[in-house]
Amino acid sequence: MQSDLVNSSFVRPATFFINGFSNIPHGKYYYVFLSLVYAVTVFGNLFIMCVIYLARRLHTAKYIAVFHLAFSDLCESSALIPKLIDMFLFDHQDVLYESCLTNMFFIYHFMNMQSLTLLALAYDRLIAICLPLRYHAIVTKTSMCLVIAIMWMFSVTFFSVYVSFVNRLSFCRTNVVDSYYCDIGPIYRLACNDYSINVLFIKLSFGLLLCLPLILIIISYVCISLALRKIAHGGDRTKAIKTLTSHLLLVAIFYLPYLSINIISFTKPMNPNVRIINNSLTQTIPPMLNPIIYTLKTEEVMQSIKDLYKRNKVKNITDNTEQMY
């Protein structure tokens, strides 16, 4: 009898109303800005993926990880920005319950893949600098593909459980979500039954999937800096540092905004509009900047682009000559 009463009082809304940008003045200008960000993100990441695919010199373990980072950036932005623009620009803020959980899964999964891929790239640089003679034996294309496959299995499993725990919540107050997407934090706060396990999962994901990879990356760079001090020749040291610059920039623009926002929100109350704008920029700007940084800051990529351009130019000249005769 008591079990039937609990089940009958369990409430699951048909839709969630995403309310995040509704109270932000001149919001339409921000949606135009996000549209431009998305266009650059799509072009940049597809461009770097095509360059890696077409340039044989980039068919290495390291660039398998870079290709995967570009793919994750593209998928995360595609899961977030078009849906956001559709909701707030075209007033489709009512999102089906199942669609909301699906969107939540893909956004979190691909954000996590970005974090883990940056860790894989740090591992690649660690072996390259600290064990250069064994690098090609340890970091192979097969081993990098295996690492990425394990990352996918772990992330899909973790976030399937993570999102499924929303189904144990009863929403008997309101269905209005104060965020710009189906964000787990604002959603579990709408529940009127115990959501302590959801809070535990959020803390676990923050520590395990954001803080731990960053700590491991920092440890890897401490080891790299110690190894660089042992390199006697200044030119070799400079060359090694150049190979690290692009990765360090990617790590900085991905992790620092997330940590800053979380630290500020824990220490003092933040205006909801400021929090929403900051969070949305944190999620959308790094995927746009990553391919630009890798294109401009990596000599191998720049040289590959030049080679592909020359090869295509020669091919066009050859084709035109053949047509003339």
Q: Is 102 exposed, middle or buried (0-12, 13-18, 19+ CB in 10 A)?
A: middle
Residue 177's DSSP bridge partners are: 18
Question: Is the Cβ–Cβ distance between 19 and 10 less than 8 Å?
Answer: no
Tokens representing 195? 């959501």
The span from the CA of 279 to the CA of 71, in Å, is: 21
Share of the chain above pLDDT 90, in %: 48
Spatial CA neighbour of 84 closest among 65, 60, 103:
103
What pLDDT is recorded for position 37? 96
Inform me whether the pLDDT recorded for 321 exceeds 70.
no
Task: Tokens 């595609």: give the residue.
Answer: 78
Q: Which amino acid is at 172?
A: C
Average pLDDT of the segment spanning 22-32? 81
What pLDDT is recorded for position 143? 96
Q: Which amino acid is at 214?
A: L
Which segments within the chain are labelled E, that is strand?
15-18, 94-96, 176-177
Lowest-confidence pick of 150-154, 186-190, 240-244, 294-298: 240-244
Inform me whether the pLDDT recorded for 115 exceeds 90.
yes
Inform me whether the pLDDT recorded for 233 exceeds 90.
no
What pLDDT is recorded for position 232? 56
Task: Tokens 């047509």: give the residue.
Answer: 323
> Which residues fall within 8 angstroms of residue 265, CB to CB, at 6 or more apart?
275
User: What digits encode the pLDDT tens for the residues 35-80?
Assistant: 999 999 999 999 999 999 999 999 999 999 999 999 999 999 999 9
Average pLDDT of the segment spanning 11-34? 85
User: What digits encode the pLDDT tens for the residues 121-136?
Assistant: 999 999 998 888 899 9
The span from the CA of 96 to the CA of 14, in Å, is: 6
What pLDDT is recorded for position 318? 59
The span from the CA of 255 to the CA of 124, in Å, is: 19
Inform me whether the pLDDT recorded for 254 exceeds 50.
yes
Distances from the Cα of 56 to the Cα of 51, 138, 169, angstroms: 9, 21, 51
Spatial CA neighbour of 274 closest among 33, 30, 18, 16:
30
Which domains, ranges and CATH numbers included, belong to the chain?
26-167+216-312 (1.20.1070.10)
